[in-house]
Amino acid sequence: MQQAVEQFLNYTTVERGLSPNTLAAYRNDLTQLVEFLQNRDSSLQSHGSWKRVGTDALTAFVLDLHERGYSDKTKTRKVASTKALFGFLLEEGVVDKNPMEDFSSPGTGESLPETLSVEEVEALLSVGESDTPMSLRDRAIIEVMYATGVRVSELVSLDIDDVDLDESFVRCMGKGSKERIIPLHDEAVETVSEYLEDGRPSLAGNAAGRALFVSRKGGRLTRQALWLILKGRAQAAGIERKITPHTLRHSFATHLLIGGAPLRHVQELLGHASITTTQVYTHLTSEHVRTQYETAHPRA
């Protein structure tokens, strides 16, 4: 793959008379692209073929640029370098189509959603006392949100019966009353189990409700309360920027894509109707989604 990059750089240098600085920037951008693709799919290291690089992988690359905190100017340049490379590969017949054709520059239009790093998620989970009922609840909330990507309204609507810890999944009722089954990784199962055994009984008291997450008075947790919980834990974890429940949903999707999950699989897990208006919604079997989830999720 790097050989094709060098051919492109040689061609561009001759055709456009690139300055040494511009050439160095191109080489840096495209070397970073190759390394990302090969780290994401180890088979590309020995049998690299640009034909095997599709929209999913390139979407993950752009999301990774965003997560690394590059400026819009730098992200725009790196995307432009990638577009130019694929334009060259298409002209040379190395690829049959240009998967970068519909990509817009990160510095234009709507900005990408705010996300947390994996380390920041770990920090959110680790702060506070570990064995108090409220701490057990709060950690279970964050674990479930990051494990499933559910909306805040979906999370507070969950009942105990919606969680199957033996089969490791959550049953969620999304927009349009569409039910979806979302896998839970082992860490999330363990955390929720500990909350149900040692945390929820103390909080719920004699309350007869079946809400999964309850307040200190035993009632169903509200969206506003959840926002305050997340805000408090973010401050305790030293995360200074604004964090909302939707930030965890964005982080869930972003980390799965960077980890190798196809866009359509993530779309299904999020409960969206379609990837874009031009892409057909693809139903996936539960086992297919679970396999992709367990392969791609950082805590699975």
Question: Which member of 27, 52, 220, 272 is catalytic?
Answer: 272
Is 16 assigned a catalytic role? no
Contact 83, 63 (CB under 8 A): no
Is 73 assigned a catalytic role? no
Contact 258, 50 (CB under 8 A): no
Is 272 assigned a catalytic role? yes
Question: Which member of 11, 210, 281, 288 is catalytic?
Answer: 281
C-alpha 184, offset from chain centre: 15
Q: At what angle do helices 245-259 and 223-236 cross, to 10 degrees?
A: 70
Closest CA to 88 of 212, 170, 172, 4: 4
Is 288 assigned a catalytic role? no
Distance CA(132)–CA(128), nearest Å, equals 9
Question: Which member of 151, 180, 185, 264 is catalytic?
Answer: 151
Question: Which member of 83, 223, 246, 299 is catalytic?
Answer: 246
Question: Which member of 249, 255, 264, 297 is catalytic?
Answer: 249
159 strand-pairing partners: 211
Contact 103, 83 (CB under 8 A): yes
Closest CA to 64 of 109, 95, 21, 29: 29
134-148: string of b/e by CB count within 10 Å (b at 16+)?
ebbbbbbbbbbbbbb
Closest CA to 80 of 10, 12, 2: 12
Is 293 assigned a catalytic role? no
Cα→Cα distances 133→200, 206, 216, 218, 247, Å: 7, 15, 9, 12, 25
Closest CA to 114 of 254, 235, 294: 254
Question: Which member of 73, 175, 178, 288 is catalytic?
Answer: 175
Is 175 assigned a catalytic role? yes
**Residues identified as active-site:** 151, 175, 246, 249, 272, 281
